[in-house]
Amino acid sequence: MQKFYIFISFLLFGSCIKAQDSSLAQLVNDSSINENSIVKGTFKATQIVNMPTIESPAKGGLQFMIMHRFGRLNEGAYELWGLDNATIRFALDYGISDRLSIGIGRSSHDKTYDGSFKWKALQQKEQGMPFSASLYGLIAYSTLKYSDKPYLNGTFRTSYLTQALLARKFSRNLSLQLAPSWMHFNLVPTEEDNNNVFAIGFGGRMKVSKRVSINAEYNYVPDGQIVTNDITNSLSFGMDIETGGHVFQLVFSNSQGMVGPAYLAKTTGKWGDGDIYFGFNITRAFTLKR
Amino acid sequence: MKVLSITIAAVLLSMFASSQPLITRNGFLGFYSKTPMEDIKAENNQVVAAIDLQKKSLAFSALVKSFLFRKELMQQHFNENYAESDTYPKTSFTGSYTGEVNTQKEGSYPVQVSGKITFHGVTKDVTVPAVLQIQGGKLTGTANFQLLPGDFNIKIPSVVRDKIAERIDVKVKVDYPINH
């Protein structure tokens, strides 16, 4: 019994000492809940270079993008190392909700119109969900006139891209993304070429300061799917510079095309031969609805 | 045995004699920056605040991520580039006030609050005027003051200098129910 009393008094003493230690500051600090929030800012922009990222405009946000690629670096001095030529893509992306965005675009490359959507299926959390996953779909429609092929109607001019974008922000500076991709071409050059082409993209960014990051992406297209054209895998490097509502991306790529079916399946440039396209992507964000 | 009883009694007494602070989980903290170029408003309704009317001490703690902006992009830039909330997740204030408050009598009591604000990993001493108001079984504390981003080691690049005010207006409002 005696022992029991001593034990109890010790307990009370202990709790008393604790109560005196915990100041008001301790009290509020302990009571503030550390909520498990969604990890934001995995990438600065909605694309690494050509590959879309899991980022999309927030609800009611409109993003205007100008993507621009000069000619090839190896065209030499007469073409001012490619700067005399350019292909361009304009795009508008709108956030219907914080998870769903839609977009339209127009590339001068094959005079192609495109429509796309991006849906954030899973979002990385601080605790628990280790990665983000988005579904990206794009339909491309080429309007380039072939006077020798009048039979090319709408069906033949259309191609589709579906991508699963799997990304993880590993630290405040490092984010990586994996993108299994499936393309369907309604028209391919010969019977040996597949209408369905599969590819896998890898990409990432490394921040070098708060507002600048270095990016790289590589898109691997397994052999035997496209045989007529001697295609190469698209490899691109870039640098993001963020200034408030703008993101400037300076890029170097062996791809001239800027939408999936073009840069994944129609890249013929080789880095080793100097087939390097310099260019930039500029995004500007507007808020339409609050 | 007697000694033990006295000890226990003393311990129990000391526990109950210590004043009970008032505490709330939904205090309000807002900051505002107005320039001709940009109007920035961020509000946090999940501030944990406590006040001890006997000791005249008070404390606040809030998650930096819980500040809501009108534009998602602003919120992201604030967290990523300015407040760096992944490294410094919380902002807090601890201090005391001078001035008399009679909880039995309705009315407004102007007080001087002084203490330490911690934000972005930097702790700074501040003294600001505030008002404690007793009304309808509630104690409401309000304060309006200004802070400089530079005091908290927050660098504003020249590109956005025109968009962010030199002095940031801060508003604090906390309601505590009082039980008589």
Distances (CA, A) of B142 to A151, A288, B113: 75, 34, 11
Closest residue of chain B to A63, computed from CA coordinates = B73
List pLDDT tens digits, range A179-199.
999 999 998 888 888 999 999
Per-residue DSSP letter, A42: S
Structure-token pair, residue B62: 């809030």
Whether A9 sits inside 8 A of B8 (CB atoms) is yes
Helix (H) or strand (E) holding A10: helix A2-21
Contacts of B25 in chain A (CB under 8 A): 31-33
Closest residue of chain A to B53, computed from CA coordinates = A24
Judge whether A14 lies within some domain. no
Judge whether B9 lies within some domain. no
Contacts of A5 in chain B (CB under 8 A): 1, 4, 8
Contacts of B3 in chain A (CB under 8 A): none
Strand partners, B22: B51
Cα B154 to Cα B78: distance, rounded to the nearest angstrom: 10
List pLDDT tens digits, range A206-230.
999 989 999 999 999 998 898 888 8
Q: Look at residues A260, A172, A249 and name the one whose alpha carbon lies nearest to residue A216.
A: A249
Nearest residue, CB atoms, A12 vs list B12, B18, B92: B12
Q: What is the mean pLDDT of chain A?
A: 89
Judge whether B40 lies within some domain. yes
Question: What is the predicted pLDDT for the residue at A113?
Answer: 96
Whether B71 sits inside 8 A of A287 (CB atoms) is yes
Structure-token pair, residue A135: 């579904």
B21 min Cα distance to partner chain A (Å): 8
Whether A172 sits inside 8 A of B87 (CB atoms) is yes
Whether B71 sits inside 8 A of A9 (CB atoms) is no
Q: Please give the average pLDDT of every successive group of 10 residues along chain B, which has 180 residues.
A: 62 54 94 92 95 93 93 90 92 93 90 96 96 92 95 89 92 87
**CB contact set of B65 (below 8 Å; sequence gap of 6+):** A35, A37, B79, B85, B89
Q: Report, as an integer, the average pLDDT of A132-157.
A: 88
Nearest residue, CB atoms, B72 vs list A16, A35, A58: A58
Judge whether A2 lies within some domain. no
Q: Does A22 touch chain B (CB under 8 A)?
A: no
Judge whether B150 lies within some domain. yes
Question: What is the predicted pLDDT for the residue at A184?
Answer: 95
With bands split at pLDDT 50, 70 and 90, how would you rate the model's confidence at A9?
Answer: low
Nearest residue, CB atoms, A24 vs list B65, B73, B94: B94
Whether B11 sits inside 8 A of A287 (CB atoms) is no
With bands split at pLDDT 50, 70 and 90, how would you rate the model's confidence at A147?
Answer: confident
Cα A268 to Cα B127: distance, rounded to the nearest angstrom: 67
Judge whether A148 lies within some domain. yes
Nearest residue, CB atoms, A37 vs list B21, B65, B73: B65
Whether the CB-CB separation of A73 and A271 falls below 8 Å is answered with: no
Residue B59 belongs to what domain range? 19-177
Nearest residue, CB atoms, A28 vs list B60, B72, B76: B60
Judge whether A83 lies within some domain. yes
Question: What is the predicted pLDDT for the residue at B158?
Answer: 85
Residue A213 belongs to what domain range? 39-287
Question: What is the predicted pLDDT for the residue at B11?
Answer: 52
With bands split at pLDDT 50, 70 and 90, how would you rate the model's confidence at A26?
Answer: confident
Cα A226 to Cα A208: distance, rounded to the nearest angstrom: 38
Q: Give the rounded distance of the alpha carbon of A10 from its chain centre.
A: 60
B178 min Cα distance to partner chain A (Å): 17
Beta strands in B64-121 (DSSP E): 68-69, 90-98, 107-119
Go through chain A and tell me how many residues it has.
Answer: 290
Look at residue A248 and tell me whether its pLDDT is greater than 90.
Answer: yes
Question: What is the predicted pLDDT for the residue at A35?
Answer: 72
Question: What is the predicted pLDDT for the residue at A24?
Answer: 84
Judge whether A278 lies within some domain. yes
Whether A5 sits inside 8 A of B160 (CB atoms) is no
Phi, psi of A110 (to 5 degrees): 60, 15
Nearest residue, CB atoms, B49 vs list A15, A28, A172: A28
For chain A, report the end-to-end CA distance as a whole number of angstroms. 69
CATH number at residue A254: 2.40.160.40
Distances (CA, A) of A105 to A49, A89, A118, B47, B84: 16, 7, 14, 44, 34
CATH number at residue B138: 2.40.128.110
- The residue type found at B70 is R
Cα B114 to Cα A60: distance, rounded to the nearest angstrom: 42
Look at residue A115 and tell me whether its pLDDT is greater than 50.
Answer: yes
Judge whether A213 lies within some domain. yes
Q: What is the largest CA-CA distance in chain B?
A: 76
Whether B73 sits inside 8 A of A61 (CB atoms) is yes
Judge whether B3 lies within some domain. no
Count Cβ neighbours within 10 Å for each residue of B110-125 and write b for 16 or more, e otherwise: ebebebebbbbeeeee
Judge whether A24 lies within some domain. no
Judge whether A131 lies within some domain. yes
Number of domains within chain B: 1
**CB contact set of A33 (below 8 Å; sequence gap of 6+):** B25, B46, B63
Whether A31 sits inside 8 A of B23 (CB atoms) is yes
Which residue, among B65, B69, B120, would best test binding to A if mutated, counting the most A CBs under 10 Å from its CB? B65
Whether the CB-CB separation of B163 and B37 falls below 8 Å is answered with: yes
Judge whether B14 lies within some domain. no
Helix then strand count (H, E) for chain B reads 2, 9
Nearest residue, CB atoms, A24 vs list B21, B87, B89: B21
Tell me how many residue pairs between chain A and chain B have CB atoms under 8 A apart: 113
B142 min Cα distance to partner chain A (Å): 18
Number of domains within chain A: 1
Whether A35 sits inside 8 A of B63 (CB atoms) is yes
**CB contact set of B96 (below 8 Å; sequence gap of 6+):** B55, B56, B57, B58, B113, B114, B115
Question: What is the predicted pLDDT for the residue at B1?
Answer: 64
Cα A245 to Cα A234: distance, rounded to the nearest angstrom: 29
Question: What is the predicted pLDDT for the residue at A16?
Answer: 43
Phi, psi of B82 (to 5 degrees): -110, -60
Q: Report, as an integer, the average pLDDT of A83-94.
A: 95
Q: Does A29 touch chain B (CB under 8 A)?
A: yes
Q: Look at residues B177, B174, B178 and name the one whose alpha carbon lies nearest to residue B48.
A: B174
